[in-house]
């Protein structure tokens, strides 16, 4: 199933893509949750994803054309947005760094999320903004001190994220966060793809295309710390909640390590593309 969040005029709602239509998930399930919003996060918390898949497959007459409602990030309201640094062998190599024995991570906040197709304004505080194509996993069940062998049971699925990074701010201090938190710095989507459709977590391909040119191309087979290891590690440090988004690092080809360097400019058209996860477009303004 490809879960999306869409705004049909009455606020964000959970949907599922079916061809070029969106099926309203909570309507397919027979009604909105008794308390709280009719969101993807509420669906994960309810433990009814499999029910939803069956209901969506059988539902009739509630399709909404996907071209009509505005797609939002699949999880617009996560409790946590966690970014993993230096997690592709190819990227550590181009940066001239040894693969880290322990995952490096940092946070973004909800202000960073941007919808599929959104325009993102370059931040005034930076002159060196870069792209980072990433595969993100979404937590499906609360996870605390979960071992690697049990990790997959806690993962709802995968989506695409562009970890836009202001390199001058990122490198100004030992902590990377100043360069990672600007408004719109986490375009995410288009859909949360459940594992049955996304396939194995170590065989998801991603590509970053800027103005028609491929800048990054890789598979999660190159991850230094694979998805189950990341969930196990993070769940040993804090409780992970349904809907938490963990973006797993970026491969070689970022603009800051190219010669000549490439910085984003107004008018740039970016797309993170994956045969498994879809296409996430962003326009820089």
Interface ranges with Zn ion (CB under 5 A) = 132, 163, 250
C-beta of 192: minimal distance to Zn ion in Å?
19
C-beta of 132: minimal distance to Zn ion in Å?
4
Residue 240, classed as helix, strand or coil, is strand
- Least Cα distance to 70 among 1, 116, 120 occurs for 116
Of the two residues 217 and 239, which places its CB atom closer to Zn ion in the complex?
217
C-alpha span between 21 and 67 (Å, rounded): 8
Query: What's the CA angle centered on 265, arms 252 and 248, to 5 degrees?
Result: 30
Of the two residues 163 and 244, which places its CB atom closer to Zn ion in the complex?
163
Of the two residues 122 and 136, which places its CB atom closer to Zn ion in the complex?
136
Give the CB-nearest residue to Zn ion.
Answer: 163
Of the two residues 49 and 272, which places its CB atom closer to Zn ion in the complex?
272
Q: How far is CA 31 from CA 38, 55, 137, in A?
A: 9, 12, 27
- Residue 112 burial (10 A CB sphere; 0-12, 13-18, 19+): buried
Beta strand spans in the chain (E): 2-7, 12-18, 21-24, 63-65, 70-72, 81-85, 104-108, 113-114, 119-120, 129-130, 133-139, 155-162, 165-166, 186-193, 205-210, 213-219, 245-247, 269-274, 278-284
C-beta of 14: minimal distance to Zn ion in Å?
27
Of the two residues 71 and 254, which places its CB atom closer to Zn ion in the complex?
254
C-beta of 173: minimal distance to Zn ion in Å?
17
C-beta of 106: minimal distance to Zn ion in Å?
8
Of the two residues 90 and 239, which places its CB atom closer to Zn ion in the complex?
90
C-beta of 277: minimal distance to Zn ion in Å?
16
């Amino acid at each position: 199933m490809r879960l999306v969040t869409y705004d049909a005029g009455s606020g964000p709602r959970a949907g599922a893509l079916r061809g070029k239509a969106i099926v309203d998930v909570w309507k397919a399930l027979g009604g909105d949750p008794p308390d709280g919003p009719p969101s993807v996060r509420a669906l994960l918390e309810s433990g009814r994803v499999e029910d939803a898949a069956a209901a969506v497959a059988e539902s009739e007459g509630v399709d909404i054309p996907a071209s009509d409602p505005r797609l939002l990030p699949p999880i617009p309201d996560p409790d946590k947005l966690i970014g993993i640094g230096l997690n592709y062998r190819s990227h550590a190599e181009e940066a001239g760094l040894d693969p880290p024995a322990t995952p490096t991570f940092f946070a973004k906040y909800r202000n960073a999320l941007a919808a599929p197709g959104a325009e993102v304004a370059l931040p005034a505080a930076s002159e060196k903004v870069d792209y980072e194509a990433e595969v993100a996993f979404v937590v499906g069940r609360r996870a605390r001190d979960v071992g690697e062998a049990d990790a997959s049971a806690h993962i709802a699925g995968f989506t695409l994220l562009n970890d836009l990074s202001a390199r001058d701010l990122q490198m100004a201090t030992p902590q990377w966060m100043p360069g990672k938190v600007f408004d719109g710095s986490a375009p995410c989507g288009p859909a949360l793809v459940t594992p049955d459709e996304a396939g194995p977590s170590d065989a998801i391909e991603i590509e970053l295309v800027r103005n028609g040119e491929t800048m990054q191309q890789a598979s999660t087979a190159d991850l230094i710390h694979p998805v189950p290891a990341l969930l196990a590690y993070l769940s040993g440090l804090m409780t992970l909640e349904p809907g938490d988004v963990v973006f797993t690092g970026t491969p070689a080809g970022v603009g800051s390590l190219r010669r000549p360097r490439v910085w984003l400019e107004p008018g740039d058209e970016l797309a993170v593309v994956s045969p498994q996860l879809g296409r996430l477009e962003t326009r820089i303004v």
